[in-house]
Amino acid sequence: MSLPVIVVSAVLGLIAGAYARALAAGFDARPDAQSEARPEAQTDAQPEAGAEARCDANSEARPWEEPDPGPEVWSEAQSGARGGVEPGGRRAEVVRAFAAAVRAVPLPRPPYLLEGATALAAALAAWGIHDGWVLAAWAYAVPVGAALTEIDRRTWLLPDAITLLSYPILLVLLAPSGRLVPALVSGCALGAVYAVLWLIRPTGLGLGDVKLAGLIGLLTGALGAQSVVVAGMAGQVLGALYAVGLLMTHRATRTTEFPFGPFMIAGALFALCLINWA
């Protein structure tokens, strides 16, 4: 693509990133989402001295606040959501999130990481993809991937309202490209691989990750079989490197879990970069 098209794509990606941030902000963050470990990985931790007294003081000072439901309640509420099935309360949250995105002012906000990454991904897609319909599919997927990355990071949730809705949209966009069949085969193959991984260790992956894998297979399958393999392997390698980093910095144990969706999406972007450099 020409330089003006790449620049316009980057600008549109910057705007789309702002909408992606607004959509992600509509989903409530888990109480423990800012920590590296899940609550069950912290069972041996001792409460900070004076914490109980502070909690009692806070409850007396702010009687109007509802008490924290506790990790057990959150775990039960989130267990279905992590697999991609929103409980009743999650449906209202999804509607609220989409409404917030529609009303959002598309201006980047500090620290600008999500918007910048979306702009870069859009520019890479415009640079390396020459088929108009495949590019259209990636143009849709870039802000969606940005939103899913932020949502999964904050909530450990990959909502069906985004992942499942993206399947028919991508199929419609890819159909005129002549790459629909290899894209379908790749989507089924990568989804099947992640389904097997989920069956082997369901605590390590969620059904939402399996559904995301199918979408990544569709997108990278339209670029070629090599891109599918690279995307699948890169996601695993990036996740493994992150886990090793946590272990080396003593911020996690071997049983610590973390959202895997962002690494899967990063693997797809790595495959996109590969076709640009090839």
Question: How many C-beta atoms surround the C-beta of residue 17 within 10 A?
Answer: 29
Contact 20, 114 (CB under 8 A): yes
- Tens place of pLDDT per residue across the chain (278 aa): 689 999 999 999 999 999 999 999 999 887 655 444 444 434 344 444 444 433 444 444 433 333 444 444 334 344 444 444 455 567 889 999 999 999 999 888 888 999 999 999 999 999 999 999 999 999 999 999 999 999 999 999 999 999 999 999 999 999 999 999 999 999 999 999 999 999 998 888 899 999 999 999 999 999 999 999 999 999 999 999 999 999 999 898 888 889 999 999 999 999 999 877 76
| Burial category of 121 from C-beta neighbours within 10 Å (exposed 0-12, middle 13-18, buried 19 and up) | buried
Residues 127, 163, 35, CA angle at the centre, nearest 5°? Answer: 95
Amino acid at position 245, single letter: G
Distance CA 128, CA 142 (A): 14
CA nearest neighbour of 224 among 188, 182, 278, 187:
182
Q: Which residue has the tokens 């499942």?
A: 164
Distance CA 81, CA 237 (A): 25
DSSP for residue 251: S
3 state SS for 166-209: HHHHHHHHHHHHCCHHHHHHHHHHHHHHHHHHHHHCCCCCCHHH
CA nearest neighbour of 30 among 56, 58, 84, 69:
69
Does pTM surpass 0.95? Answer: no
Q: Which residue has the tokens 């390590």?
A: 204
pLDDT value at residue 88: 58
Contact 271, 161 (CB under 8 A): no
Distance CA 257, CA 35 (A): 11
Residues 188, 151, 170, CA angle at the centre, nearest 5°? Answer: 35
